[in-house]
Amino acid sequence: MGRLDGKVALITGAARGQGEAEARLFVSEGARVVLGDVLDEAGEKVAVGLGDAALYQHLDVTREQDWQSIVAAATGRFGRLDVLVNNAGILHTESLEQTRVEDFMRVVHVNQLGVFLGMKTVIPALRAAGGGSIVNVSSNAGLEGISHMVSYVSTKWAVRGMTKTAALELAPDGIRVNSVHPGGVATPMILGDEATASGTEQIMSGTPMRRMAEPGEIASLVLFLASDESSYSTGSEFVADGGMTAGHVLQGVE
């Protein structure tokens, strides 16, 4: 038996990277999965590869109407909804002084408003299923400050706070809400156009394990929180950052 047998999950940002890894792992563990993204061609390709257990639908997480449509598609196709993984996110790197309002708000709309809309929209469906799990993907940037990332850091702290508030409100309905806090993950957002090779080197040098995570490593943690194995966990942070937030390593000391 799979760890998610009988469950239906909605995963945002599922066309590539960490979201894609989560979708593939969930299906391998018995779930039926609805993949949401704005990268339609890539998302459709992933869903087709996963077969009848997967459905792709366009989802701009900043649009409430898109959320209503994808939740309706999930329940219409699979009859229920048990899990939401708020995985979609974007990154903007610039000094506080040079960050423009429009760039700051672009990150807020995707990373923060998108999570809020997702949680708000799925509540009736999760309640109808008898409860469920919401997993909000935050970051180690939701636990500490990172220079030149004021917009990203602010949204990831917000996700952490919204998670706790939602957990308190939804616990009586049997809906658990937890946040995941990865460090550097080898995804297109980190390795692609939005980061330089030197930035990647910085991430690895600041990580005690001296490497970035693979998307599948974070997906395994998300799987645990989506499954009944975490049935008494809600309102909590789950960190997978290779030791980045554990403290400071003294260089040259053995």
Residue for token digits 């939005």?
194
Confidence of residue 191 (pLDDT cuts 50, 70, 90): low
pLDDT in tens, 198-237: 556 666 667 777 777 788 899 999 999 999 999 999 999 9
Helix axes 17-28 and 215-226, enclosed angle (nearest 10): 50
Residue type, 41: E
Is there a domain that residue 207 lies in? yes
| Structural domain total, the chain | 1
196 is a domain residue: yes
The verdict on residue 70 lying in a domain is yes
106 with 55: CB under 8 angstroms?
Answer: no
152 is an active site residue: yes
C-beta separation of 10 from 84 below 8 A: yes
Mean pLDDT of 57-84: 98
Domain that holds residue 219: 8-239
The CATH number of the domain where 132 resides is what? 3.40.50.720
121 and 74 Cβ atoms separated by less than 8 Å:
no
pLDDT per residue over 130-183, tens digit each?
Answer: 999 999 999 999 999 999 999 999 999 999 999 999 999 999 999 999 999 998
Q: 136 lies in a domain?
A: yes
Token couple for 7: 């469950």
Would you state the pLDDT for residue 199?
A: 55
Question: Is the full-model pTM beyond 0.85?
Answer: yes
Residue 27 lies inside a defined structural domain of this protein: yes
The tokens of 8 are what?
């239906």
Catalytic residue among 67, 78, 152, 238: 152
Q: Is 140 inside a domain boundary?
A: yes
Using CA atoms of 230, 234, 240, 246 in order, give the dihedral in degrees to the nearest 10: -130
Residue 152, in any domain of the structure: yes
Could you tell me if residue 174 is inside a domain? yes
